[in-house]
Amino acid sequence: MNAKTISKLFVMAGLSNVLGVLLLSKGFTNQVMMDAQPEVMGYFGLIAIVLWGLAYITVAKSYAAVPWLIAVFAVEKLAYVIVYLQWFTSHSITAVYERDALAGVFYSIYGLNDFLFMLFFGWVFIRLNKAIIK
> What is the mean pLDDT of each successive set of 10 residues along the chain, which is 134 residues long?
94 97 95 94 95 97 96 97 95 94 94 97 93 58
Question: What's the pLDDT at 132?
Answer: 62
Q: Measuring CA to CA, which residue among 39, 41, 19 is closest to residue 30?
A: 41
pTM, full prediction: 0.91
Question: What's the pLDDT at 113?
Answer: 96
- What are the residue boundaries of the structural domains of the chain, listed by start? 3-58+65-133
